[in-house]
Structure 1
Amino acid sequence: MDLFGDPKEDAHPLWLNPTKLLDLEFDPESYISDLRTFVSFDTLRSELQSHLSALKHKLVELINRDYADFVTLSTKPVDVDEVVV
C-alpha cells in the first residue's frame, strides 16, 4: 500500500522478498521453511500465487509491447553470412 492506503500494483507483504527468488544460491525449501515459522502455509501459498500471477501479467505486457518487432524479425529474415562479411 502507498502512503494513503491505496494498494500498489506490485504490492506484497514485507516478509515476502521477491529479490531473494532471483538469487543464484536460492534454496526454495529453506526459504519456505524459514517463512513458515511466522506465516501460515495458506497465506504463503496465496502470496506466492499472487506474485506468480503478477509476473505472468508483466511477461504478457512485455511480449505485447515488443510483438511488432518480433513479427518483423520473423518476416524479414536477414542473410547472416552477408551481415558477417
Structure 2
Amino acid sequence: MTSTHINLNFVTDIINDKRTPMKLINIKRKTQLEQRHTREMGVLTTNVTYIKKMLFNLIPLATLHKYRETYYGEIKDCEECVLAK
C-alpha cells in the first residue's frame, strides 16, 4: 500500500510542478579545440564553437553555426575562412 501511495505522490508532484516543461528540441553551444592547417602558418590550434540543434538534449539534428576565435580576439565564421585547402 505504501508503494502505491508514493507513486501517487510522485504523479501529483509532476502535475503540480511549476518549472518549465521538458522541451523536445533544444539549442546547445559546445566549444572544442581543433587543429587547422595552412601552408603559410602550419598548424593552428584554435577553439571552435558549434551551435547545434538537439533532440531531447541527446541526439544532434543539425549544426546551425560554427565559428572560431582568433589569437587577437576576433570572431570568424568557419565557412568564410577555410584554412585546410
User: Which range, TM-score by smaller chain?
Assistant: under 0.3
Q: Quick check: which has more Rg, 1 or 2?
A: 2
TM-score scaled by structure 1?
0.22
